[in-house]
Structure 1
């Protein structure tokens, strides 16, 4: 029996495992909800809801090809054992980027069952060869959508196709009311609207909280869950680039392609939790009150609170805001970065473990310089008029630009109904910098102040 294991590839377009399995004969399209993958990780209710939306659309698309999508709730090894007992012999088709592939590879080897794995092999590949291999993959012809999917009538009784059975599953966190919807069609629409015009201010707006929500591609969640393939995005963007007459438009798309390929590289690597010696010397505590106020957008620091409230509502922030909220809690207040990482992962709809860990390690100083950001100063740079703050903090809606970033200076502050700052921002920022510099210098004469890189943009931000 040919079994297509869906996971982070919830689509039918450019899906080589599905295409090849359909050519081989009868197919059983399958998605497995593994309890361990949802209960023992930062994945939350918003991720589950996005996946279910994607699966419901995937089921309709497969039915349009005369097929049927089946579901299972169990650990992958258990599901595979049951499938083998039912069919005696199985052929497995899956993408390499699926979270369960290590288990599937080991199981298929032990049980001597055929596994067809697809996607670029980038792990432990040196730089030049990695670029060459990735570019070769991105330029390969897209896999054709099958004309028909012939589903077997011999279905194990532990599989089901009724999505109502998923309603009993409960996860931590909450659904998003104002965020993106899952599904291949939404992913395609998002890419098309980006290439039709939203990209024109891609670089100009990438740091600005509100404008970036429109001019960024907003494809990150769809890439994470495989509603659209990186190869599809790459090839359509290249065609648009080639059709552009204006040099400025080409610059925008070239920047986007650079970030797309960098993200593809990182998402295929394995992360190691390595800390420079100087960061190891920084004591990171856990303060429940500070942590909760930060997580709930109640720090009393407008740009931080607006960012965290917007993330809770939408599941997305641009990189400049991600860097700032992470730096504030992990580097300025010196709270445990592992708690910070897990909390943010549960909120980001585009949570991709390897990419997320890479980003957290950069911000918290595990890779390169520890970034300590002054939220008031940078808040004024990113949101000078306070439009973003006013949208997400209605308590400050009537404040002028003079006070919007430091409302505690407003003469009638206590009438606003807004939280007082949980720390003295300037003192906390200065203390953190001095603490870090003392560890870095280790008694050596002080160096000239370095540029803080407060608005630095990671190359895989979308």
Structure 2
């Protein structure tokens, strides 16, 4: 039996495992919800909601081709074992996937079953070879959608196609009402709207909280969950770039493509969690109250609170805001970044472990140069007129512009109903700088850049 294992590739277009399996004969498309994965990783209810939305659309697309998408709730190896018991012999088709590779590859070898994996192999190779191999892959023809997907007559009882059965699957966190909806069609619509005109201010608006939500591609969640392939994005964007008459438009799209390939690069790297002793020396003891106020957007520092509230509500922030809230917590407040990392991962709808870990290490000083930020100063740069702050902090909606970034200076501050700042921002900033300067004087803080990597990378796509 030919079994297609869906994971972070929830689409029917440019899906080579599905295409090849359909050519080979009857196909059993399967998605497995592993309880351990949803319990032991930062995946939360908002991710679950996005995946279910994606699966519902994927199911419909497969049914239109005559097939049927089946779902299982169990550990992957257990599911594979049950499938082998049912069919005696199985051929597994899947994309190259870091999470699946070890589990499925090991199981297939141990049980003497065939695994056919597809996609570019970009791990543990030189920069030159990586670039050549990636460019070759991105320019390959898009895998054709099967004309027909034949369903086997025998389907084991533990598989189901009724998504209502997922209602009892318990996942931590809460769903969001205002986030992006999962599904291949939504991904395609998002890419099309970007290429039809949203891209024209891509570079100019990258750091601006509200404008960036429109002029960024907003494809990150769709890439993470595979509603659209990177190859499809690259080829459609490159086609648009070649057709552009204005040089400025070409620059915008070229910048976007550079960030797209940088993201692929990071996803192919093995991210090791570094524990640098010099940085650990200056960390404070854990402060749960500070953590909760930061997480809930109640620090009393407007730009930080607006960013965290917007993330909770929508599941997305631009790169500048991500860098700011991370750096403020880890480098200015000098609190351990590991719990912060898990909390942000649970909130980011586009959470991709490799990219996320790289972000956290980059912004908390574990990679490259540590950046200590003054949130008031940065807030003025990112949101000079306070439009973003007022949208997400209604307590400050009527505050005069001159006080929007430092509301505690407003004469009637205590009538606003907004929290007083949990720290003296200037003192915290100054103290953090002194602490880090002391490390630098010891000569401990030099960090070597990894081959082919710049000191600071942004994947704001």
The alpha carbon displacement at 1:98 in A equals 5.6
Quote the residue 1:204 is aligned against: 204
Q: Distance in 1 between matches of 2:119 and 2:459?
A: 19
Quote the residue 2:326 is aligned against: 326
Mapping for residues 304-453 of structure 1, pairs under 5 Å = 304-442=304-442
The alpha carbon displacement at 1:276 in A equals 4.2
Select between 39-48 and 169-178 the one with higher mean Cα deviation.
Answer: 169-178
Quote the residue 2:271 is aligned against: 271
Q: Deviations over 1:326-384 (max 9, x none)?
A: 01111111111000000000000000000000010001111111111110000000000
Q: What is the TM-score when the length of structure 2 is the normalising length?
A: 0.96
Taking structure 1 as reference, are residues 443 and 32 closer, same or farther at Cα in structure 2, changes over 3 Å only?
closer
Q: Deviations over 1:280-315 (max 9, x none)?
A: 433253211000000000000000000000000000
Quote the residue 2:457 is aligned against: 458
Q: Which secondary structure does the structure 1 equivalent of 2:94 belong to?
A: strand
Q: Distance in 2 between matches of 1:267 and 1:216?
A: 20
Q: Deviations over 1:150-205 (max 9, x none)?
A: 01010011111110100001211111111100000000000000000000000000
Q: Which secondary structure does the structure 2 equivalent of 1:3 belong to?
A: strand
Quote the residue 2:101 is aligned against: 101
8 Å Cα contact 2:368-2:456 kept in structure 1? no
8 Å Cα contact 2:26-2:150 kept in structure 1? yes
8 Å Cα contact 1:77-1:103 kept in structure 2? yes
- 1:84 corresponds to 2:112: no
Q: Distance in 2 between matches of 1:336 and 1:273?
A: 13
8 Å Cα contact 2:45-2:175 kept in structure 1? yes
Quote the residue 2:192 is aligned against: 192
Q: Distance in 1 between matches of 2:424 and 2:383?
A: 21
Q: Which secondary structure does the structure 2 equivalent of 1:335 belong to?
A: coil
Q: Distance in 1 between matches of 2:456 and 2:369?
A: 14
Q: Distance in 1 between matches of 2:162 and 2:57?
A: 13
Q: Deviations over 1:109-158 (max 9, x none)?
A: 11110000111111111110011111111110000000000010100111
Q: Distance in 2 between matches of 1:300 and 1:95?
A: 46
Q: Which secondary structure does the structure 2 equivalent of 1:378 belong to?
A: helix
Give the aligned CA root-mean-square deviation in angstroms: 1.2
Question: Gaps spanning 5+ residues in structure 1: where?
Answer: 445-455
Q: Which secondary structure does the structure 1 equivalent of 2:29 belong to?
A: strand
Quote the residue 1:111 is aligned against: 111
8 Å Cα contact 2:319-2:458 kept in structure 1? no
8 Å Cα contact 2:362-2:456 kept in structure 1? no
Quote the residue 2:173 is aligned against: 173
The alpha carbon displacement at 1:458 in A equals 2.8
Q: Distance in 1 between matches of 2:120 and 2:282?
A: 39
Q: Distance in 2 between matches of 1:261 and 1:186?
A: 22
Select between 21-30 and 262-271 the one with higher mean Cα deviation.
Answer: 262-271
Q: Distance in 2 between matches of 1:296 and 1:113?
A: 49
8 Å Cα contact 1:332-1:372 kept in structure 2? yes
Q: Deviations over 1:248-276 (max 9, x none)?
A: 00000000000000101111222111244
Quote the residue 1:447 is aligned against: none
Q: Deviations over 1:400-422 (max 9, x none)?
A: 21000000000000000000000
Q: What is the TM-score when the length of structure 1 is the normalising length?
A: 0.96
Q: Which secondary structure does the structure 2 equivalent of 1:155 belong to?
A: coil
Aligned length: 451
Runs (4+) of structure 1 exceeding 4 A deviation are none
Q: Which secondary structure does the structure 2 equivalent of 1:100 belong to?
A: helix
Q: Distance in 1 between matches of 2:110 and 2:409?
A: 67
Q: Distance in 2 between matches of 1:204 and 1:457?
A: 18
